[in-house]
A and B are shown apart, each in its own frame.
Chain A
């Protein structure tokens, strides 16, 4: 394939279709949302066109700042946990034979196809006192009586990580499978233990991929709004839950649009920051 800029205007023709689709299905809806966030909310009704900052003003309170802070924290933590678990897993996956790799990937893809609803209900069942895993522990003699582990912060974290783990592996898989096997081999020949090789050679070589994955998983879990409702207590309701409440249950589209805009700007800023700090040496 030819690289670099197309020679003339004709070279851009193949880009017209995707650009058009991007415009219709992304840019225009986004512009509508941005516009609505400034519209006038009609209390007890819907909204009417206008330009005001009232919707943003309602958002700038310590109450919503706390919710925003918690949302960012919970997504950030989920991203870190997923990468800590997913990176060694994916590394070992890429060392497996072709057939077993494919089986694992198919399995992970099928987990990815589960909706938040299914995952949320399944986990709340698994963590319940009446039908949950603790009953197995009681049978095994590890616990005296069954306990209820949901809803709560740990349950929410479990659900989010379950939701995002396959996604993490699928993002890490291409860069890790492209990793030159001679790199760790050289380290081993020079006398490094497998563990030392992993931490001093493989991880630094994949720094760019790790940062990119952290960002992707962070953004991915930031959009989860059913798991906090199903597995969390009210103090664990994230901004996405609030946005959904306003849009769907309170028919307050201007306010939900304003919150969505703000959430997006803050996460964009965080993504930019992470990239600036951790991702200078992107391609190994």
Chain B
């Protein structure tokens, strides 16, 4: 088995869905043959999380954009976590952009800033950005905008309805001893955001995470969960199957995908606990190596329209990045993708400033006896 194959295989399992080998292969093909479609009408390459997200965008969003703007889109399945960040960075060093615009997580946005991976965006060319909620405009420290909110989603408490007839009310439910060996959690500090969830549930808010002593205290509380955790998952496909089957009947998961599974008839429910769901989001960011900046701006502007945000909430199940007041979503439609309970907001800063220390402490907590 070659290392190369392993990397590609790994790229096939990511944050947004268990991508079939073909999707990963598509990403590889896009990397390997960037100009196979010819220079004349270079399509705008847009990276979206592979699997469910990419399929949904290909079906509901990209064709309409091409019809209205005349700009062809080549969607690229991007792996999640920071794998895509590493690929973008390495390619940009060689002057290549495997995707012009990519959907990038908040932690990855900060890491990309350190090497000036993201091209500055010209807000004059993105007039619809006025619709965005302020937290969805991402900036370099000097104020240059480098990311525009693409999608927002929630991590919530999910349960199998066959095993748990009654919905849990609080994140604290996970700590109860009767759930021994029954819980699935995300494996890393920076994708599970369990520090924020635990801090909000037991320590009165995420302020406790300001100091290293505070973080260690919260980690100690998370360690109490370990006997209950059957699976620390890196790939959501791993957990979703077990959740649907009732093998691992409780855990943290993505509100949108869980809702979709429930709609498909699986015995799965997603609950916003009283402490709030965890709100995470991805930005559209432009690689500095991209030669399609003009079209990229038009694409990002298009995506900021209230009508498109509403379409995404209805068809893809993501929470809107624009103010709810200018959307035509009904209460029911809004409730399906979001909640009126104030969300838990991740402390992205600690993954940036204390990243390696935190990673080490986290791994020792999870792996250690």
Contact = CB atoms under 8 A, between A and B. Distances in A.
Interface of A: 41-46, 58, 63, 67, 115-117, 121, 124-125, 128-131, 148, 151, 220, 223, 225-226, 229-230, 234-235, 237, 242, 244-245, 247-253, 255
Interface string B329-369: 00000000000000000000001110110011001101111
A117 B241 CA distance: 14
A245 B188 contact: yes
A234 B232 contact: yes
B364 A63 contact: yes
Nearest to B112: A45
B322 to A, nearest CB: 29
Contact of A249 (B3, B231, B234, B353): B234
A63 B360 CA distance: 10
B367 A235 contact: yes
Nearest to B89: A46
Pick from A242, A245, A249 the residue with the most CB of B within 10 Å.
A249
B12 interface: yes
B147 interface: no
A148 B369 CA distance: 22
Given A45-B115, A249-B188, 12 more contacts: A42-B114, A44-B355, A58-B360, A115-B9, A121-B238, A124-B242, A129-B247, A229-B187, A248-B83, A250-B359, A251-B82, A253-B86
A251 B13 contact: no
A224 to B, nearest CB: 8
Contacts of A58: 360
Contacts of A151: 230-231
Nearest to A225: B6
B189 to A, nearest CB: 10
B95 interface: no
Pick from A44, A131, A151, A237 the residue with the most CB of B within 10 Å.
A44
Interface of B: 1, 3, 6, 9-10, 12-13, 21, 79, 81-83, 85-86, 89, 110-111, 113-115, 181, 187-188, 190-191, 230-232, 234-235, 237-238, 241-242, 245-247, 351-353, 355-356, 359-360, 363-364, 366-369
A225 B230 CA distance: 19
Given A131-B245, A237-B367, A253-B86, A44 B115 contact: no
A9 to B, nearest CB: 33
Chain B interface main SS type = helix
Given A46-B115, A253-B86, A67 B367 contact: yes
A229 B234 contact: yes
Nearest to A42: B114
Pick from A46, A220, A230, A247 the residue with the most CB of B within 10 Å.
A46
Pick from B1, B113, B241, B368 the residue with the most CB of A within 10 Å.
B1
Contacts of A247: 86
Nearest to A115: B9
B111 A128 contact: no
A58 B356 CA distance: 10
Contact of A117 (B9, B245, B247, B353): B9
A252 B9 CA distance: 20
A248 to B, nearest CB: 4
Nearest to A244: B10
B232 A223 contact: no
Contacts of A252: 356, 359
Contacts of A245: 188, 363
A93 to B, nearest CB: 23
A117 B237 CA distance: 11
B247 A45 contact: no
Contacts of B79: 248
A226 B10 contact: yes
A63 B361 CA distance: 11
25 contacts: A43-B355, A43-B356, A44-B111, A45-B111, A58-B360, A63-B367, A117-B12, A124-B238, A125-B241, A130-B247, A131-B247, A225-B6, A226-B10, A234-B367, A235-B367, A245-B363, A248-B10, A249-B82, A249-B234, A250-B188, A250-B355, A250-B356, A250-B359, A252-B356, A253-B86
